[in-house]
C-alpha cells in the first residue's frame, strides 16, 4: 500500500509528565471509531459483536458509552492493520478514539475521563488497555502505530469478551449494573433471578420480587408490584398495577389493574 507519509506514530513516556489542568472537551471535537472484530474463538458466530447482552448487541454497549460523539464502525480481524482501516474514516474532529466491540462494560463516564486526560496532557497518541486515542491531524500523517506505554483507567470497563464463556461472565456484570441503577432510583428488588434489559424504564416505588424477566422497551409505572414469576416484554404496565406469574408481551395494562396468576396477555390493551 502506497503512502505519502514518512512519520511513525510513537507514544513517548515523557508524554505523561505534563502538568494536570482542568479542561472541558466539546463533544463535536471527538470522533469514536468502533472496531467490529470477527473473533474466530466464537465458533459458529460470524459476527459475534451482534450477540445480545441485556437487550443490546455487544457493540451497541460500546456505542452507548460514546453517546454524544460522532460514532463510526468498521469490520476487522485480529490481524487487521488498524491504521489502514481508520484513515478513510477520519474526520475534522480534533480527537479520534478507537474502541473495540468486545468491551461492552465501557461506561460513558470512563470514556469522558479518558478524553479529558488525553486533551489536558496535550498528547498526540495514547494506548488504552483495549483501544487508542489519537490527535486526528497527527494520526493522518502517521504510517505505523508503535506504542510503548499503556495508560490505565477503570479497568473493569475494559474486560474483554473474547469467547462465549467470557460473554456470560460480562453479561452477569451488566445485569448487576442494571439492577444497581434501578435500586439507586428507588426500585425495591428482592429475590433471585431478576433480569431487566437495558432499555427498560421503571418508576420509583416499584417492588420486584424473584423470577421476573422484563425485556425490550418496557415501562413499569409507579407503585407497581411484580410478584414472583412474571415475563414482561415491550409492554407498558401503568401505575399501581399488581402482577402474579403472568406473561405480558407487546401490551398495555391500565392503572391499578391486578393481573394473574397465569394470565397470558399478548398484543392487548386492558
161 backbone dihedrals φ, ψ, rounded to 5°: -90, 95
Assess if CATH 3.90.550.10 describes domain 7-158.
yes
**Model pLDDT for residues 179-219, shown as the tens digit of each residue:** 999 999 999 999 899 999 999 999 999 999 999 999 999 99
Query: What angle, 0 to 180 degrees and rounded to 10, lies between the N-to-C axes of helices 58-65 and 108-121?
Result: 50
Cell numbers for 20: 494536570
37 backbone dihedrals φ, ψ, rounded to 5°: -85, 135
7-158 and 185-266: same fold? no
Domain 185-266: CATH class, spelled out: mainly beta
51: buried, middle or exposed (CB in 10 Å: 19+, 13-18, 0-12)? middle
Strands 30-37 and 70-76, bridge-based pairing: parallel
Average pLDDT, the chain: 90
Q: What is the CA radius of gyration of the chain?
A: 22
The pTM assigned to this predicted structure is: 0.85
- Pick 26 or 202 by higher pLDDT: 202
**Model pLDDT for residues 50-105, shown as the tens digit of each residue:** 999 999 999 999 999 999 999 999 999 989 999 999 999 999 999 999 999 999 99
CA distance 133 to 49: 21
Domain boundaries, the chain: 7-158, 185-266
Amino acid at each position: 500500500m502506497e503512502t505519502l507519509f514518512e512519520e511513525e506514530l510513537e507514544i513517548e513516556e515523557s508524554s505523561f509528565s505534563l502538568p494536570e489542568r482542568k479542561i472541558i472537551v466539546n463533544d463535536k471535537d471527538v470522533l469514536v471509531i468502533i472496531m467490529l472484530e470477527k473473533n474466530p474463538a466464537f465458533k459458529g458466530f460470524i459476527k459475534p459483536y451482534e450477540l445480545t447482552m441485556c437487550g443490546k448487541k455487544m457493540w451497541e454497549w460500546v456505542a452507548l458509552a460514546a453517546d454524544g460523539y460522532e460514532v463510526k464502525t468498521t469490520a476487522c480481524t485480529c490481524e487487521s492493520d488498524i491504521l489502514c482501516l481508520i484513515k478513510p474514516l477520519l474526520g475534522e474532529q480534533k480527537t479520534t478514539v478507537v474502541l473495540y466491540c468486545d468491551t461492552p462494560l465501557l461506561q460513558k463516564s470512563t470514556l469522558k475521563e479518558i478524553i479529558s486526560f488525553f486533551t489536558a496532557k496535550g498528547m498526540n497518541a495514547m494506548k488504552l488497555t483495549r483501544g487508542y486515542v489519537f490527535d486526528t491531524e497527527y494520526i493522518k500523517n502517521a504510517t505505523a502505530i508503535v506504542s510503548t506505554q499503556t495508560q490505565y483507567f477503570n479497568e473493569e470497563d475494559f474486560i474483554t469478551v473474547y469467547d462465549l464463556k467470557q460473554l456470560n461472565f460480562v453479561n452477569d456484570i451488566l445485569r448487576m449494573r442494571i439492577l444497581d441503577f434501578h435500586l439507586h432510583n428507588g426500585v425495591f428488588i428482592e429475590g433471585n433471578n431478576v433480569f431487566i434489559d437495558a432499555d427498560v424504564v421503571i418508576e420509583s416505588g416499584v417492588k420486584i420480587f424473584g423470577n421476573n424477566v422484563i425485556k425490550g422497551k418496557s415501562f413499569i409505572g409507579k407503585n407497581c408490584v411484580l410478584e414472583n414469576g412474571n415475563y414482561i416484554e415491550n409492554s407498558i404496565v401503568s401505575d399501581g398495577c399488581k402482577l402474579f406469574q403472568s406473561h405480558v408481551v407487546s401490551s398495555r395494562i391500565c392503572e391499578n389493574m391486578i393481573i394473574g396468576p397465569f394470565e397470558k396477555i399478548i398484543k392487548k390493551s386492558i
